[in-house]
Every structure is written in C-alpha cells, then in structure tokens.
Amino acid sequence: MHPQLEAVLAAVDRVGFRSRGIVTNGTSLTVEKVRVLKQYGFWVDITLRASNETTWATITGSRSSWKHLERGTALLASSEIPVAIEFDCTPQNFRELYDTAAWVVRQGLQARHFQLHRILPMGDAEANYPINSLSPRQWNEVFDQANKIEGDFGIEVLAEDGLPFCLIDPSHWHRMLSCACGHSLVTISPDFSLRRCACDQAAVASLFDSPTDIQNALQIATAGKLPDPCVRCPAVEVCRGGCTASIAGSNGQRPDYYVDSFLPVSQATWQKYGLSLKSRRITGQQTSDI
C-alpha cells in the first residue's frame, strides 16, 4: 500500500539481501505491484484467515475484501513468484485449515508451505487475549488436518511460534519450529526502537545503536529463566520452552496462556519420538537448524 513501494523494493535490492520478501493479506496486490515484486526477486507470504467469504468477513470485518483476495492470489498464481501461506489459528477458523489449503490449490497457488501461528497474549495481540487462544485439544485437531494437507496436496505444514511440545501429540512434534524472537527475528517499531518480539511492549535497544550493543541487549532479553517444568523436561533443548513469552510473560509481565499446562515429557516418550528431532527456526521461506 506504500505509495513508493517500487523505490523501497529497489533499495532492498541494492543492499543485497539474499532473502527478501513481504507478508501481506493479498487484498491490495495489482498487476504492477506483482511485476515489481518479481523484478526485484521478492517472495510473498499470504496471510489467510479463512477458507470462505463468510468466515473471512466474520474475522476481518470486511466481506468485500474477499473478492480482492481472490484477485490478488490469482495474480500471484500466474507470476511464478515464490509463495507461502501464513495462517493464524483462532477459535473461529481452526477447523478450516484443510479447506483453506484446498482453496489455495484451487486458486492455482504453488504454496511452498503453510506456517501456522498461535495468537500471542501480549504486545500487538493483547486486545484479543485470551479470546483467540486455542486449547491443546484444538491444536491437535489443527495438526490432524496438517497430516491430511501433506497427504492430499504435498504442502508442508509448520508451526512457527514456539508451541510447547508437552501440549501436542508426539506425532506432530516434527512440525514445531522454535521461537526465533530475539535470535533471528527482531521487531522494529516505527520510532526505530527494537523489541525482542511483537509480544513485547518495551524496547531493548535502538536501530541506531552499535551492532555489539544491540546483540548484547537481545542476549539479555532472551536469557530469562524457563518455567520449572521445562527445566526438568528432556525435550527442552529442541522445544526451547515454547514461545519466549512462556518464560514469565513478556518482559516479566502476564504469563503465557499455556504455562499452567506445562508438564515434563516422559523419558520413554522422548526416547520414542524425540531423539531424531533438531531445534529449527524459519527465516524468510527457509527453515534451518539452530
């Protein structure tokens, strides 16, 4: 939507970032915008909320934008731009993950993967907490749909926001990505202050600080004590205690929605399902071991 979008894309190209992309709901894409995104080598992540116009309107408050989404995704489907899908799992839509994947396929999008997001409690998402949080049972329903998506469409499904292993059936652990906040992902506010993640309201540094000062500030911000059950859990090196907000709440404020449900994974379960797993995170559209 920025009036100087092409100038911004060109500037990113001149800096030489190897991974460059945008995350968008897709409703404002045009032929010209898709052209310049392809010209400057950008990938696109489409953030979807639903599989149909009715649920979309319930969540977004805009029925008309569904038609804009259909137009934007059709443009991407014919562009050869690398596309991935981000899906915020909420009580209103969590049973529609498979149907959303089917819609993506019908639109002609060759999605590289689906990234599933939990709705986090602090910072940018605080207004709707805990209304938009799923129960562990509901998360397992989500991942059962993920199995079907991979089987029917061949699209990998990943959970990006550090969902703790102890809440999820072990058969789904391979989908869990560690929280990247404060490590390979930092939130930059409009005033150029740096936050460990979007869950945090307090700044830890400024974009204009020295790289060493920024790194030291982030190390301090991410070094909080894990919840007690996590310390005694054999999965902790891979799981990393879930989201950074799980530690004690964002910057020591309100605790994570799930923290009272944490229980150490049994050694027998870890021996059976966890020994081959590595802690992974995602940067751009690529996953990597930590």
Whether 253 maps to a domain, the answer reads yes
pLDDT above 90 covers a percentage of the chain that reads 56
Give the pLDDT confidence score for residue 31 in this predicted structure: 96
Whether 191 maps to a domain, the answer reads yes
In terms of average pLDDT, the best of 170-184, 205-219, 221-235 is 205-219
68: pLDDT strictly greater than 80: yes
**How many domains does the chain divide into?**
1
Q: Which two tokens stand for residue 206?
A: 């400024």
Query: Where residue 81 falls among pLDDT bands split at 50, 70, 90?
Result: very high
Q: What is the secondary structure of the chain as a DSSP string?
A: --TTHHHHHHHHHHHT-SS-EEEE-STT--HHHHHHHHHTT-EEEEEE--SSHHHHHHHHS-STHHHHHHHHHHHHHTTT--EEEEEE--TTTGGGHHHHHHHHHHTT--EEEEEEEPPPSSGGGGGGTTTTPPPHHHHHHHHHHHHHHHHHH--EEEE-S---GGGS-GGGGGGBPPP-BTTTB-EE-TTSEEESSTT--S--EETTS-HHHHHHHHHHHT-PPPPHHHHT-TTHHHHTTSSGGGTTSGGGSSPPTTGGG--PPPHHHHHHHTTT---EEEETTEEEE-
Q: Is the pTM of this model over 0.85?
A: yes
Give the mean pLDDT of 102-111: 96
Domain that holds residue 96: 82-289
Whether 106 maps to a domain, the answer reads yes
Whether 46 maps to a domain, the answer reads no
Give the pLDDT confidence score for residue 79 in this predicted structure: 95
151: pLDDT strictly greater than 60: yes
pLDDT above 70 covers a percentage of the chain that reads 91
188: pLDDT strictly greater than 70: yes
Whether 7 maps to a domain, the answer reads no
Whether 31 maps to a domain, the answer reads no
Whether 255 maps to a domain, the answer reads yes
Whether 19 maps to a domain, the answer reads no
